[in-house]
């Protein structure tokens, strides 16, 4: 009886041991694998302006360990020869939680990626975001297709007759690969297209172009940027404002960005007035002789006939200066001009010396020769001259007309006297 009671008394402590152990295990914090994902931007997002992209991710679980959110530029994914690309870490932390950071496409690159690209715009193409943690590996992609900035600081300077050197600031975008110098009609000037590697140095780019006649008023610079590292698709472009061209040796045209130098000297700034051409002599200018106001004295009737040919020409020159028309036709009866051999250009008016200085024979006066005076003394010489016949030919035509009239009259009289049939 006593032995059975003792065994029953020991049983409760033995039963309580597993129950307490279970309570301790339940009270201890449980460890589970981490989970996480990228929440921004959405997968496949597209950006065509240099804006700020918010990159965000969340990681949960007490076994996350080290959490990294990194970004790779398009050259990494494209794997184009000669374009190694770049990958760098945006956010890094220990343990789970929320992660967020802004990625400015206008100044995307970090110094840890490539010191030469620090602060420069993002390359166009497909970008990749990667989230890694203990047991977590998530990724998102987005694309950019942002046009280049319009070329700035465009200047022109003469490089000899018909040639101009155009210069501008080097591009900020790593993938702006070419430039073109255009005329005012949008056509590429000869020598004005080339790759950035050939046209640009560290800070500036330049191209020497040939300017044909009629296309040398102004020029603009067009930048060409790739859509992706592979070069697929048409380039994205941006064009500068036009600036005047300087196609004359030694001259320079105004620039869109510079300011004119002090002292009124020739410069390349905006608003600078075109200066004289250096190294080229200016063509001599003829200074016109001022024409004195004509004076007219009262003359008796018939006084003009007593004037000499030179005095008549000078007097008519004064009348011609007051006329509305630039020149007057030759007076009737003047010397008829004969057609001569063609000349290379307009012949200069003959110059005569008068008592008031040299003058031009604008009205075509010449002194009458003895033969002309004799012909004018013949009756009806003016009529013969008007119809374009010599006096002898004129009289022969008159005589022939009279003979024809006389013959016609006799024939009519003879016909009227004939007896009837």
pLDDT at 386: 59
Most confident of 31-40, 104-113, 141-150, 299-308: 141-150
Cα separation, 421 vs 412, whole angstroms: 18
Residue 304: which pLDDT band, with cuts at 50, 70 and 90? low
Q: 140 to each of 53, 143, 227, 360, how far by Cα in Å?
A: 13, 11, 20, 90
Run of H or E including 109: none
Neighbours of 165 (CB within 10 A): 17
What CA dihedral angle connects 11, 14, 19 and 24, to 10 degrees? Answer: 150
- pLDDT tens digits along 368-418: 666 666 666 655 555 666 566 677 777 888 888 899 998 888 888 888 775
In degrees, rounded to 5, the angle at the alpha carbon of residue 172 between the alpha carbons of residues 168 and 178 is 60
Q: Is 279 helix (H, G, I), strand (E, B) or coil?
A: coil
Cα separation, 294 vs 300, whole angstroms: 19
The answer, yes or no, to whether residue 20 has pLDDT greater than 50, is no
- pLDDT tens digits along 242-277: 999 865 444 444 444 433 333 333 333 333 334 443
- pLDDT tens digits along 72-111: 999 888 888 777 888 999 999 888 889 999 999 999 888 7
pLDDT at 358: 62
Cα separation, 346 vs 75, whole angstroms: 69
Neighbours of 307 (CB within 10 A): 13
Of residues 67, 68, 71, the one with CA closest to residue 54: 71
Taking the CA atoms of 263, 264, 265 and 268 in sequence, report the sign of the dihedral they define.
positive
pLDDT at 171: 95
């Amino acid at each position: 009886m006593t032995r059975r009671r003792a065994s029953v008394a020991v049983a409760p402590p033995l039963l309580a041991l597993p129950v307490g152990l279970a309570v301790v295990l339940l009270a201890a914090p449980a460890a589970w694998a981490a989970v996480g994902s990228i929440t921004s931007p959405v997968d496949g997002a597209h950006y065509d302006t240099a804006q700020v992209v918010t990159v965000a991710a969340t990681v949960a679980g007490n076994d996350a360990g080290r959490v990294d959110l990194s970004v790779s530029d398009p050259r990494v994914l494209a794997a184009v020869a000669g374009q190694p690309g770049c990958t760098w870490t945006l956010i890094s932390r220990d343990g789970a939680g929320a992660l967020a950071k802004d990625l400015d496409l206008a100044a995307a690159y970090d110094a840890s990626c490539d010191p030469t690209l620090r602060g420069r715009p993002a390359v166009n193409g497909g970008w990749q975001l990667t989230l890694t943690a203990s047991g977590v590996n998530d990724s998102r992609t987005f694309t950019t297709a942002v046009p280049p900035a319009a070329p700035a600081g465009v200047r022109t300077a003469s490089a000899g007759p018909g040639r101009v050197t155009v210069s501008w600031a080097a591009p900020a975008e790593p993938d702006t690969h070419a430039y073109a110098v255009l005329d005012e009609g949008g056509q590429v000037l000869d020598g004005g297209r080339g790759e950035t590697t050939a046209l640009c140095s560290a800070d500036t780019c330049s191209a020497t172009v040939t300017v044909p006649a009629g296309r040398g008023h102004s020029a603009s610079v067009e930048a060409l940027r790739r859509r992706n590292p592979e070069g697929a698709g048409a380039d994205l472009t941006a064009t500068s404002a036009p600036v005047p061209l300087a196609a004359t040796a030694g001259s320079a045209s105004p620039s869109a960005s510079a300011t004119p130098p002090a002292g009124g000297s020739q410069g390349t700034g905006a608003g600078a007035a075109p200066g004289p051409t250096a190294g080229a002599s200016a063509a001599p200018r003829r200074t016109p002789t001022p024409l004195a106001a004509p004076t007219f004295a009262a003359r008796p009737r018939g006084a003009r006939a007593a004037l000499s040919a030179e005095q008549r020409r000078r007097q008519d020159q004064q009348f011609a200066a007051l006329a509305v028309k630039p020149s007057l036709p030759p007076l009737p009866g003047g010397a008829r001009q004969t057609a001569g051999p063609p000349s290379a250009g307009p012949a200069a008016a003959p110059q005569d010396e008068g008592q008031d200085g040299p003058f031009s024979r604008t009205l075509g006066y010449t002194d009458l020769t003895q033969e002309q005076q004799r012909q004018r003394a013949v009756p009806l010489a003016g009529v013969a001259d008007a119809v374009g016949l010599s006096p002898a030919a004129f009289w022969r035509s008159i005589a022939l007309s009279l003979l024809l009239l006389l013959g016609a009259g006799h024939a009519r009289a003879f016909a009227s006297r004939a007896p009837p049939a």
